[in-house]
């Protein structure tokens, strides 16, 4: 179920074609927002952060296991994972098990989404990843305060949690993640991912999304990849790093994604295959996607 949205805007002369690729049909809004931001002259990293923020903060998107309205953990707390990675060496930031959202202080309050905090980690912290209370403390040091957990919940996510408490078993089969790859006119590429994680997970659980090489990977010499699916399984195979390395060897994005999924299938066997979808963008600005479950659900695009 790695449906993608893509759009490219070819520039005259030797300029690079701008492009954006997102996971799942619900990423369409983020892809189109990235197009508008690029047209206004914004760089890849700013486009990823701003384009994803609207979906992270949209309660309607929560049913896709993203941000506000996402499913809480076993303790009833929404904990989010997010990461951002540039194609330049050493440019990566992530947060994991981040409770709630942080709220900007001052006369013009605005929501600071998990990906925004991850961007702050990349730009302003000596470390690359902060988790739980460490991420909260860092965000507060940047001038933000934490929003109450009740504001992160919706009627739908609360009802799902109450059903979980009654049955002590999750009925959700979803492993969605919002992922976005953006290539700007200067040839810089950035990939971002954000998720509220597996529904009703153990407190502190971290999936593949914020782990470099697992949930995302970028290299200006070969472009980038992002993953969605069963994070506990995906993290065992570092698929995004593998996809980027294959593209560096000359594989097309679709062929690289297919080769990685076939390798995983070969290693775990047909009975052991799990939900995984991959998207990628290469040096020629060609998008690609493959998934382990039903081709008809992998081909929607714009």
Q: What does the angle CA 128 – CA 52 – CA 126 come to, to the nearest 5 degrees? A: 15
Known catalytic residue at 177: yes
Contact 275, 23 (CB under 8 A): no
Distances (CA, A) of 96 to 23, 79, 152, 194, 242: 20, 8, 16, 10, 23
Check if the beta carbon of residue 149 is closer than 8 Å to that of residue 139: no
169 Cβ contact partners less than 8 Å away, ≥ 6 residues apart: none
Place of tokens 């952060």: 49
Quick check: 241 and 260 in contact, CB under 8 A? no
User: Which of 180, 56, 45 shows the shortest CA–CA distance to 111?
Assistant: 56
The contacts of residue 135 (CB under 8 Å, 6+ apart) are 95, 96, 97, 98, 117, 121
- The residues, ordered by sequence, that sit 6+ positions from 165 with a Cβ below 8 Å of its Cβ are none
CA–CA dist 195, 191 (Å, integer):
14
User: 296 CB contacts (<8 Å, ≥6 apart)?
Assistant: none
Q: Give the closest residue to 289 by CA, choosing from 250, 248, 261, 249.
A: 261
The catalytically annotated residue of 61, 177, 190, 195 is 177
Which residues are identified as catalytic?
A: 177
């Amino acid at each position: 179920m790695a449906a993608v949205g893509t759009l490219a805007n070819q520039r005259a002369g030797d300029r690079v074609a701008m492009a954006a690729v997102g996971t799942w049909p619900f990423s369409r809004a983020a892809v189109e927002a990235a197009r508008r931001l690029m047209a206004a002259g914004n760089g890849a990293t700013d486009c990823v952060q701003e384009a994803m923020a609207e979906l992270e903060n949209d309660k309607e998107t929560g049913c896709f296991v993203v941000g506000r309205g996402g499913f809480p953990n076993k303790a009833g707390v929404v904990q989010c994972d997010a990461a951002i990675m540039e194609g330049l060496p050493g440019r990566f930031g992530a947060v994991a098990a981040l409770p709630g959202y942080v709220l900007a202080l001052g006369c013009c309050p605005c929501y600071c989404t998990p990906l925004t905090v991850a961007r702050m980690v990349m730009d302003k912290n000596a470390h690359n990843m902060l988790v739980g209370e460490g991420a909260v403390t860092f965000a507060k040091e940047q001038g933000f305060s934490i929003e109450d957990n009740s504001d992160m919940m919706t009627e739908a996510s609360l009802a799902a949690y109450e059903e979980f408490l009654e049955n002590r078993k999750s009925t959700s089969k979803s492993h969605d993640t919002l992922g976005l790859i953006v290539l700007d006119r200067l040839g810089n590429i950035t990939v971002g991912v954000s998720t509220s994680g597996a529904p009703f997970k153990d407190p502190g659980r971290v999936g593949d999304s914020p782990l470099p090489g697992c949930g995302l990977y970028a290299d200006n010499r070969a472009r980038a990849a992002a993953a969605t699916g069963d994070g506990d399984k995906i993290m065992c195979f570092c698929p995004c790093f593998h996809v980027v390395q294959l593209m560096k060897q000359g594989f097309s994005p679709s062929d690289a994604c297919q080769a990685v999924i076939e390798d995983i299938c070969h290693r775990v066997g047909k009975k052991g295959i799990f939900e995984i979808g991959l998207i990628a963008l290469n040096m020629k600005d060609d998008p690609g996607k493959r998934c382990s479950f039903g081709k008809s659900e992998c081909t929607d695009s714009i």
